[in-house]
């Protein structure tokens, strides 16, 4: 049983093996040890290349995107600096 996520990852790994897709360095920091990130698992070829560090960052960003909007608004209201 494959999840959509596993299937998307498999599709990319397979395409690389077959020479149909080229692994690119991390688009944030240029690290050649990159992984494919799928913004949308139903579109297996729509990927971003990111290193492990920035990959994790992307996921936590996506996961917290909605909550973050509310948090930033709240912090702004209280006049606090973010980051
Ligand atoms: Zn990176
Ligand atoms: Zn990812």
Gap between the Cα atoms of 50 and 29, Å rounded? 8
The answer to whether residue 83 is domain-embedded is: no
* pLDDT tens-place string over residues 27-71: 999 999 999 999 999 999 999 999 999 999 998 887 777 677 788
For residue 39, tell me if it sits in a domain.
Answer: yes
77 C-alpha to ligand 2 centroid (Å): 32
What is d(CA 83, CA 81) in angstroms, rounded to the nearest whole number? 7
Cα–ligand 2 centroid distance for 29 (angstroms): 16
**Cα 81 to middle of ligand 2, angstroms:** 29
Q: Which residues surround ligand 2, an ion (CB under 5 A)?
A: 37
Query: Is residue 15 one of the residues assigned to a domain?
Result: yes
Nearest ligand to the C-alpha atom of residue 60 = 2
* pLDDT grade for 1, boundaries at 50, 70 and 90: low
**What range defines the domain where residue 27 resides?**
4-77
Q: Measure Cα distances from 7 to 45, 59, 61 in Å.
A: 11, 18, 23
Residue 82 domain flag: no
pTM recorded for the entire structure: 0.69
Number of domains in the chain: 1
Specify the pLDDT at position 66: 65
Residue 59 CA, ligand 2 centroid: distance in Å: 6
From residue 38, how far is each of 45, 54, 58, 70, 71 by CA, in Å?
8, 13, 10, 25, 26
Distance of CA 78 from the midpoint of ligand 2 (Å): 33
- In the predicted model, is pLDDT for residue 15 greater than 70? yes
User: Phi then psi for 30, rounded to 5 degrees?
Assistant: 80, 10
Q: Is 56 domain-assigned? A: yes
What residue has token string 């917290």?
A: 64
Instruction: Kindly state whether residue 11 falls inside one of the protein's structural domains.
Output: yes
Q: Is the pLDDT of residue 25 over 70?
A: yes
């Amino acid at each position: 049983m494959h999840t959509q996520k596993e299937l998307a990852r498999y599709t990319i790994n397979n395409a690389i093996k077959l020479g149909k897709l080229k692994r690119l360095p991390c688009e944030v920091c240029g690290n050649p040890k990159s992984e494919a990130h799928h913004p949308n698992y139903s579109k297996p070829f729509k990927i971003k290349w990111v290193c492990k560090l920035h990959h994790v960052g992307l996921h936590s960003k996506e996961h917290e995107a909605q909550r973050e909007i509310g948090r930033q608004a709240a912090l702004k209201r209280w006049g606090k600096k973010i980051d």
